Amino acid sequence: MTTIDTTNELNQVPSTHVSWKPGTLIYPVPAALVTCGSETDGYNIITISWIGTICTNPPMCYISVRPERHSYQMIKRNKEFTINLTNENMALATDWCGVRSGKDHQKFKEMNLTPVMGEKVKVPYIKESPLCIECKVTQIIPLGSHDMFIAEVVNIMADSQYIDPKTDEFKLSDAKLIAYSHGHYYKLGEEIGKFGWSVQKKKS
Amino acid sequence: MTTIDTTNELNQVPSTHVSWKPGTLIYPVPAALVTCGSETDGYNIITISWIGTICTNPPMCYISVRPERHSYQMIKRNKEFTINLTNENMALATDWCGVRSGKDHQKFKEMNLTPVMGEKVKVPYIKESPLCIECKVTQIIPLGSHDMFIAEVVNIMADSQYIDPKTDEFKLSDAKLIAYSHGHYYKLGEEIGKFGWSVQKKKS
């Protein structure tokens, strides 16, 4: 095993960094519209940035939700939700659904978002979203301000306008996804490279 | 409780979406350089995109790692790691550290990254990173291809060049973070708005 003895170096480097209060600063992250609810409960939309993939195979993900949020009980009860990725056209609705509560608002209607019933979950996805990820909850872990819902991805509803008819590839890069970073929403900008570009041989 | 009866609408909408194989498609996400190891093990860097915040208070996060990765045993044994956010200058190192293994490479040295010993963990952070998040593992959840390491954020090392001397605010927006989306690295682009902009009254 090759290991790096950096102990000498470690002591010689003058630090440019200062200690900062522990906080939630992992960025950029998605600002996804998570849909939930049931015919009995009604349906709701909640904007979530504490969200991500936790396992590749089987495909699994998590969302973290405060127990006081309107969507929390719906997800806990029905054990299903859909993650709707958000693009530039959906930016205003994304922010609004994060600020307003389903207790007081009919979010689909007020934001002109179109609910379409999912295929593998009894939750509508958002037609305006380029990619909608249907999930079933397998575990709930209380952590403090938030509970983490761990879920399996059971199906994906992909907007066919982004599917290349020749290769059958989903071109997520054409979907103009937005990112959230420390209180601000951003467009994705210039592409820097593809996964693996740092070790690719140049074509001669 | 106001609920939305969308059941009628749901049946009338012609779908533009098609069913797609379940997969890991929550994007954009960070491509963080996670540092780990110990004086005994040596230190390593692993690029991780299955990463995120899971609780605001106390601040907690997760990283998911394949058991066959060189860093996996180090993190499991030492129960500490540091999440180093990556910016445009670090893009090549970010890709390279995700493709190469610490079994065969001295990643700090080969990528000209400077290790500086952390304050609350015995793991070096990367001096070139704008923001380094020191974490202690509290739980490991095996899920399949990946194990999820759940951790508490115990300290943050922030590059002082991004701290506004007047307000003492950390200006993450100046750090030129990069995002990863479905096999591609991107710069963050144009800002769309601040959290809450959709409900802000215009100043008259």
B61: which 2 tokens? Answer: 């996060």
pLDDT value, residue B13: 61
- 107-146 in chain B: CB under 8 A from chain A: 107-109, 114-117, 119, 124-125, 127, 131-133, 141, 143-146
Query: Does B200 reside within a domain?
Result: no
Query: Does B11 reside within a domain?
Result: no
Pick from A100, A124, A189: CB nearest B188: A189
Query: Does B186 reside within a domain?
Result: no
CB atoms within 10 A of CB B21: 9
Burial A145-167 (b: 16+ CB within 10 A, else e): bbbbbbbbbbbbbbbeeeeeeee
Give the chain B residue nearest A89 (alpha carbons): B192
Query: Does B87 reside within a domain?
Result: yes
Query: Does A167 reside within a domain?
Result: yes
Q: What is the CATH number of the domain that holds B121?
A: 2.30.110.10
Whether A165 has its CB under 8 Å from any CB of chain B: the answer is no
Q: Give the residue-averaged pLDDT of B120-147.
A: 98
Q: Is the dihedral of CA B24, A190, A26, A45 positive or negative?
A: negative
Share of chain A above pLDDT 90, in %: 88
ipTM entry: 0.93
Which tens digit of pLDDT belongs to each residue from B2-12? 444 455 556 55
Under DSSP, is residue A1 helix (H, G, I), strand (E, B) or coil? coil
Query: Does A17 reside within a domain?
Result: no
Query: Does A7 reside within a domain?
Result: no
Task: Check B184 against A198: CB less than 8 A apart.
Answer: no
Domain that holds residue B64: 28-155+171-181
- 19-48 in chain B: CB under 8 A from chain A: 19-30, 32, 37, 39, 41-44
Contact A34, B26 (CB under 8 A): no
Q: Give the Cα separation of B78 and A52 in Å (integer).
A: 25
pLDDT value, residue B12: 58
Task: Check A184 against B195: CB less than 8 A apart.
Answer: yes
Residues 6+ apart with CB under 8 A from B68: none
Residue B144: left if φ>0, alpha if ψ -120 to 50, beta else—which one? Answer: left
pLDDT value, residue B73: 97
Cis before A58 (ω within 30): yes
pLDDT over threshold 60, residue A24: yes
- Mean predicted lDDT score pLDDT of chain A: 93
Under DSSP, is residue B127 helix (H, G, I), strand (E, B) or coil? coil
Say how many domains are in chain A: 1
Query: Does A180 reside within a domain?
Result: yes
pLDDT over threshold 90, residue B14: no
Task: Check B157 against A13: CB less than 8 A apart.
Answer: no
pLDDT over threshold 60, residue B1: no
Percentage helix, strand, coil for chain B under 3-state DSSP, each rounded to 5? 20, 40, 40
Give A1's pLDDT tier (boundaries 50, 70, 90).
Answer: very low
